[in-house]
Amino acid sequence: MRNRLLTLAFSGIVLATLTGCGGSSYPTYTAPPGPVAASGLTYTDPAAGGWRLVKDASSTSTRLVLDLVGPAGTMTRGVGFNIKAPAGLRFDTFSDGMGIHDLGAYNLVSAAANPGEPVALTSALLPGNVLTVGIYQKGREQPAIDSGAAPLCQVALKLDTTVGLHAGDPLALSVPKARVIPEDIGAVTDTMLVLSRKARLQDISISVGASAAN
- 77: closest CA among 140, 158, 122? 140
Contact (CB, 8 A) for 53 and 175: yes
Q: What is the pLDDT along the chain (214 residues), one digit of tens a residue?
A: 444 433 434 444 343 444 444 545 667 766 666 678 888 899 999 999 999 999 999 999 999 999 999 999 999 999 999 999 999 999 999 999 999 999 999 988 766 667 666 678 999 999 999 999 999 987 777 889 999 999 999 999 998 888 889 999 999 999 999 999 998 876 666 666 666 665 688 999 999 999 999 9
pTM above 0.75, yes or no: yes
- What is the maximal distance between C-alpha atoms in the chain? 122
CATH class of 41-213: mainly beta
- Contact assessment for residue 94 and residue 166, using Cβ atoms and an 8 Å cutoff: no
